[in-house]
Each structure stands twice: as structure tokens, then as C-alpha cells.
Amino acid sequence: MLKQIEGSRAVAEAVALSRPEVVCAYPISPQTHIVEALGEAVKSGALAPCEFINVESEFAAMSVAIGASAAGARAYTATASQGLLFMTEALFNASGLGLPIVMTVANRALGAPINIWNDHSDAMSQRDCGWIQLFAENNQEALDLHLQAFRLAEELSLPVMVCMDGFILTHAYERVDVPAQEQVDAYLPRFAPRQVLDPAEPVSIGAMVGPEAFMEVRYLAHAKQVQALELIPGWADEFRRAFGREAGGLMHTYRAEDAETIVVALGSVIGTIKDTVDELRAQGVGIGVVAITCFRPWPLAAVRAALVNARRVIVIEKTLAVGIGGIVSNNVRAALPGSGAAVYTVIAGLGGRAITKASLAKAFADAIAGRLEATTFLDLDRQVVERVLAREREVRRSGPIAEAVLKEIGPVAARPG
Amino acid sequence: MAFQPIKFYQTGTFTVGNRLLPPEARAVQANMRRTNSLNSGHRACQGCGEALGARYAIDAAMSATNNRLIAANATGCLEVFSTPYPETSWQIPWIHSLFGNAAAVATGIAAALRVKGASGVRVIAQGGDGGTTDIGFGCLSGMFERNDDVLYICYDNEAYMNTGVQRSSATPPAARTATTPAVGEQPGNPFGQGKDVPAIAMAHGIAYVATATVAELRDLEYKVRRAMEFRGARYLHVFVPCPLGWGHASDATIRIARLAKESGLFPVFEAERGEVVGVSKIRKQVPVEEYLKPQRRFAHLFAPTPRPEVVARIQAIAERNIRKYGLLERTT
């Protein structure tokens, strides 16, 4: 059924349609609307049987999900930013134990400085925690990826993180097609756990493993993710057959077949990039897009195949690996040995900084003209940075960094575009 | 074997052998059908109070739940010595997740059981004092506040024994640990305000809070059984001496636990909905020296320079407990 609803509400409906049995909630912007909607659904009886648990921290949220999943319940939670960091220890534990928990991450910047707006720093900081990471391009895909996530998680007995851009998607009202319960029931079988805490068949879960077996256990976690690379495209086909629309998969391309220049990105910015590419195509520029849906496991072969004929690859990154630059671009480079293509890292949109078509078009033109530096920061105010650095050279007690930058910028608040 | 009533003529002791009791009053451990939930062959040290306490507590819980029990375990000695896989001592469904989340994992298990309509299966969370009073304290308090249907058992050996005897918030004043060495002007753990977790549990108003020691195992069994009669959050704090960490003989575990109670340093009581409903009285009060002296962690209080003023401060703590809980029988 077509509905004009908020992204968070669309995800909440998808999760509810997936019949979760335990939902843990701890508030953090911008994911709160999702668990609020689920809480209401449970309390009103619309979603039953389901336990909705208001916990005291994100660490507890993931821990409750671990207990619930190990006891055989379909478990779900959502978080963002600092919340994801606070549950880090439990994230590694959930994946290490092989518990198929599904979690939404409403992508948001990490402090300090504290910032509630969108970028991918949170999810990227946990890229190696053993969870499958899927990134949604728009709200319809966010909804669809959640349906797939439960399927994927339970087939592989691995946790899945569905990442959607905070505010840009979570708070945007868009038209989404919400499937019927029967459709979802037909697509998503009941949870049949591989391991379960059951007095009738007692098992010990979470035993200590020493050097004699640790490598093998860890390898199996890796092998499962590699296995996911093989299975995900087939599941996307199955989803298309069941619901009549494209969603998920490892990645998709847009006008990339004959492109000399290919832009790689994840999440909602792909929409802006596609529009920019359309305009450049109209001007005769041979440019296309590779949109990554599945970031973990990293679809190395698929990315390599998509980029094999490109002369240059521009990676738009909503995250910064301090001290090196890009994260996605390093993964892209791993897929391009010996291709000779130049790989550009463009750090963009940190902390909710708007990524405009104009800025993207300029960056793409600079790359095509060979003027773009290997690592650049889109729309960085260099003058402010230079003034702050100069002050630090002159004054020993130069004060808190963020406050110094804000002082330089002056009372302008947010500057869209 | 048929029950044979035996007359009890012995006097001058508080110990009553199981064979002298009617079957319903006998200890779970004395029953041929005890579950050995924490089976023999684990790797605990000789004289481990925690292994003893856990075996009695879990078997009693199994007995009380008709063997329908799931346990969540915090990281710590109990976890490490019981599951060097592929060996496991646990004969019950058991999960270890992390150091600080046993209470939350148990909450999740209880929620899963509720949603599946398996409310006959009960949940226990257990950990040492570090996993309970320090790193797991947030999750513990959350579980209490929501009144989740979990019995949390803390086996308190008053320091981080698994990592090599470092101080925890349950370490008593003056005790030597690896991070509060017996050097300087005030050797051992400083006198702080303490962290009375049973009292904090009571402040949550939860259904049942009790303390016990491994010196009175029948009392421990009773308290587990009593705890399982309630629904909602419950807390049991068990005093478990650690020969390795405390520096006492491994055959002195029971005696040390008894002296902790008889000196007043560890009050043994039970409380319902935040109010004390029962106290194990001190039978024969002993000065705290008797408790402190057999333990090397307190050796610096007696030699080479005796520190009677520190012992007096510890005695004052015992006296405060005795007053607060009414641990002595009034003599009129």
C-alpha cells in the first residue's frame, strides 16, 4: 500500500511487519521515531506477541537483544552515533556469538565536537565488528532492506545493521510502498535459530576459546560473510519476485557502462550524485555511478567488475579516517589492483554539511581535468582553518578547538549550500 | 531409600545431619537427584568459595524450578573456570556474553521466554563482585528498576580475582590487593564510603533481596528457593572467600566465611520489597581480629608494626552493622 510517511515510520512498519519478538529501545537522535512507533505498536497490541523493553543504555539495548536472540526470539533495536559506540563491545559479542539481531543505524556524526547531524562516521567506525552492513539510498530501500535484513541475518546466523542517513532519510516524508502482512509472512519464515538456550537441550554458549581454536572460529565468521556475498544477489532477485521492485543486492550501477569516470558512494547522497551525473551526461561527459548497498561484507569482485574500465574513480565519503583520509576509497583501491585508474577521495558532508550538486559537479570536473588532489574535503573553509592554525602557532593557550572555529565563522549557524 | 526417622540426641552444635531431618527439610545437595548443574571437573582453585556457592545456588534453583532454568554469566572466575571449551561444567543452558552485561542478557532471555509463553522457565544471572558492583552495575540497576523476572546472584569475593586480585568497589578497607598494595602511610585499600549493593538493591524496592555466606549452605539454599517463589527482579549477594586472593588456607574457606558473619562484618539477612524481614543472628560474637588475622591481605595490620587504630576502625564497621541489622540477640 502506498503511503506518504516519514522514513522512520516506514522503517518501523517494516520492522513490525517482520514480527520481531523483542524490541529494545534507548533514545538517541535521529533514530528515536523508529522505536517510538514500535513502542506504540506493541503497547496498543497492534504488534503482538512482542516485548518492548526500555533499557538504560545502548550497551544494555544490545545486551538484551543478545539474551533474547540466544533464547530464540527475533530481536531488533535501533541506534545512532554515540549510541553505536557505547554498544561496541556488545556488537562484537553479538557477531562473535553468531546471533541474528537486526539493528537500524540512523547514521550520525561522532563527537567531539558533539553533532547530531548526518554522516557515516558511526557505522564506518564499526565496519569490522562482524556485522553485515547495508546502506539505504532512499526510504523505500530502507524499508525493503529491513525485510531482507531479518531474512539475511537468520539464514546466516549473523547480525545485520541497516544504515540509513539520519534526518535526510529518517525525518523525510516520502512516498513508500508498504507491503501487506501476508506478503512479508510469505517472504520471511519464522525464526529457526541455529543455537538456543533451552532447558530440554542444555548448551553452553560463549565459552572461552584459546589459541588452539580461536583462528578457526574467527575464520568461520569471515567465511560466513564471504558466503553472504554469494547469497545476497540471489536474495535480492527473490525479493524482486516477491515484491515487484528492486532493492538490496551488493551494489548497483547508474549510467556506468561506458563511463570513463565513475563516482562511488553509499546512502542518500547517491540521489544527488545521480542528478549531477545526469546533468554532466547532458553535457557529453562520460560519467556514471556505482552505488554500494552492502559495505560489509565488501563486494570486492562486483566493485572490481563495475570499475574495470574506468579511468578514474571518485569516492564520495561521508566519513573521515583521521590520519589517512578515506575509508570507502581504501576498500575501492583494494578492488582495483593494477587497473591504472586514479582513485580520488572526496570527504564530504561531515556533520550534516550539505552536499550540493554544484560542489559535486566542480569536484568531478576537477578530477576529469586532473586538478583534484588525491584526498580533498568538499566545501572546506580553508580560510577559517588557516586562521585557527595561525592562532595556535602564536598562542600557547589557544583554547578549545571547536570553539575557536565557531568564533572564526561567526554567528551564521547552519549554512545550507 | 525409605526414610528412617532417627532420634537426635546430640547437643552443643548447630549442625544437624541430613539423615536426622525429615526428607522435605533435607538439603538439595543431600538429595540423590541433585542436578550437579555445575559439575565436577572444573578448574576452580582448591577451596574456591565461588564454586561452592554457585553449585549450591544453581542446584537449589534447579530444584525450585523443576529443572527449567537458564543462566546468564558475567565474565570472571566462574565463567573461566567452568567453560574451557570443549569442556563445560554446566549441565544447564548457559550463556556468557560480556563482563558488564549479565543482568541485561538475562533480561533479554526473560523477555524471549515471556513472548514465547514459556514462563515456567526461569532465568538467573550471575557474576562476581566486579561484574556486579562495578562494571555491570548500570545493567543491574536497569534490570531492578524494570522489575524484570530475573534472579541475580553476586558471588562476592571482594576483588577482581580472575585478573590477579585487583581492587573492586566491594574490596573492604585496608585489604591488600594488587592495586592497593600494603605500602605507604595507609597500606591497603583506603577507607571509602563503601558500596552496599544489597542495600542499593533494596532501595529499588524489588521483591526479594538476601545475603548469604558459604558457611551456611542450607541458608543459601533456602534463600535461592525463597527467591524463586517471587516473580520480578530479585538479588542474592553471596559472600565467597577466595583462598588465593585473600591469602588464607584453602581448607579455611568455610571458617573465614563464618567469621565474617560472626564478627558482624558481613550481615546475613533477607528483605522483601525493600524491608528487612529476617536476620541471621550472630551466635557467638568474635572480634574482627579473628576474621582478619588468618588472611594475608590483612597481615600488614598486625606485623611488623601493629595498627590497632585501623583494626578499631574495622571493628567500628562491624559494630555499625550489628546495630543496623540487630545482629545480636538481646540479653535481658
Q: Kindly report, residue by residue over B85-142, the tens digit of the pLDDT.
A: 888 999 999 999 999 999 999 999 999 999 999 989 999 999 999 999 999 999 999 9
Range of the structural domain that residue B155 is part of: 33-325
pLDDT at B58 exceeding the cut of 60? yes
Q: Within 13 Å and on the Cβ side, how many CA atoms surround A417?
A: 4
pLDDT at B6 exceeding the cut of 80? no
Do the bridges between strand A132-135 and strand A294-296 make them parallel or antiparallel, or are there none, so unpaired? antiparallel
Give the gap in angstroms from C-alpha A96 to the nearest C-alpha of chain B. Answer: 10
Q: Which residues pair with B270 in a beta bridge?
A: B210, B278
Tens digits of residue pLDDT in A134-164 = 999 999 999 999 999 999 999 999 999 999 9
Could you tell me the pLDDT band of residue A337, with boundaries at 50, 70 and 90? Answer: confident
The CATH class, in words, for A251-377 is: alpha beta
Query: Mutating which of A50, A52, A63, A77 best tests the B interface, going by the most B Cβ atoms within 10 A?
Result: A63
**Residue keyed to cell 550501477:** A253
Range of weakest confidence among A169-173, A337-341, B201-205, B254-258: A337-341
In-domain check, residue B331? no
In-domain check, residue B8? no
Measured CA to CA, the distance from residue A332 to residue A346 in angstroms comes to: 13
Cβ contacts of B80 on chain A, cutoff 8 Å:
208
Tens digits of residue pLDDT in A42-70 = 999 999 999 999 999 999 999 999 999 99
Cβ contacts of B79 on chain A, cutoff 8 Å:
208
**For the residues A198-211, what does the mean pLDDT come to?**
95
In-domain check, residue B2? no
Residue type, A302: A
In-domain check, residue B20? no
**For the residues A396-413, what does the mean pLDDT come to?**
86
pLDDT at B234 exceeding the cut of 80? yes
Measured CA to CA, the distance from residue A94 to residue A258 in angstroms comes to: 42
In-domain check, residue B17? no
Q: Which of residues 285-344 of A touch B (CB under 8 A)?
A: none
In-domain check, residue B24? no
Tens digits of residue pLDDT in A261-296 = 999 999 999 999 999 999 999 999 999 999 999 999
* Per-residue cell: B251: 581448607
Residue A394 makes CB contacts below 8 A (sequence gap 6+) with none
Give the gap in angstroms from C-alpha B262 to the nearest C-alpha of chain A. Answer: 38
pLDDT at B253 exceeding the cut of 80? yes
Could you tell me the pLDDT band of residue B14, with boundaries at 50, 70 and 90? Answer: low
**Residue keyed to cell 583554547:** A399
Q: Which residues pair with A208 in a beta bridge?
A: B84
Cβ contacts of A197 on chain B, cutoff 8 Å:
70, 93-95, 109
Sequence spans of domains, chain A: 2-243, 251-377, 381-417
pLDDT at A252 exceeding the cut of 90? yes
pLDDT at B9 exceeding the cut of 80? no
Read off the CATH number of the domain in which B219 is found: 3.40.50.970
Query: Mutating which of B85, B114, B121 best tests the A interface, going by the most A Cβ atoms within 10 A?
Result: B85
Tens digits of residue pLDDT in B89-100 = 999 999 999 999
Total of domains in chain B: 1
Give φ, ψ of A252 to 5 degrees. Answer: -140, 160
Measured CA to CA, the distance from residue B273 to residue B276 in angstroms comes to: 9
Residue A344 makes CB contacts below 8 A (sequence gap 6+) with A312, A313, A314, A315, A329, A367, A372, A373, A374, A375, A376
Whether the domain at A2-243 and the domain at A251-377 fall into the same CATH topology: yes
Predicted local confidence at residue B27, as pLDDT: 87
Give φ, ψ of A208 to 5 degrees. Answer: -75, 140
Three-state DSSP class for B262?
A: helix
* Smallest CA–CA distance from A99 into chain B, residue: B97
* Least CB–CB distance from A197: residue in B91, B93, B104: B93
| Closest CA relative to residue B217, chosen from B16, B3, B7 | B16
Per CATH, the homologous superfamily of domain A2-243 is Thiamin diphosphate (ThDP)-binding fold, Pyr/PP domains (3.40.50.970)
Neighbours of B300 (CB within 10 A): 20
Contact by Cβ (8 Å): A161, A133 = yes
Predicted local confidence at residue B297, as pLDDT: 98
